[in-house]
Amino acid sequence: MQNHQIKVFACHTIQELEKQVNQWLTNNPGIEVVQFTQSESGGGGGMEWFVTFTVLFKKMGDRR
């Protein structure tokens, strides 16, 4: 079984999400993204809007 890990980002704006994800990818060049998901919540009834982005990844060369 491969050694998968996750990284979760939660932001109020798409621009901030892009900035965080791109910075994380730049800082972690030795990973392989296996899958990602995105969800949105809030924005109604006085709730604050959030976008959540989850990355399933493994370190390149990690065969575990």
Q: Where are the domains of the chain?
A: 5-59
pTM assigned to the model: 0.78
Confidence of residue 64 (pLDDT cuts 50, 70, 90): low
- CA-closest candidate to residue 11, choices 27, 29, 23, 26: 23
Q: What is the pLDDT of residues 8-56, one digit of tens each?
A: 999 988 899 999 999 999 999 999 999 999 998 876 666 678 899 999 9
CA distance 17 to 50: 10
**CA distances (Å), origin 24, targets 3, 6, 11, 45:** 19, 12, 14, 33
* Pair 46, 63: CB distance under 8 Å: no
Give every strand in the sheet of 31-41, ordered side by side. 5-11, 50-59, 31-41
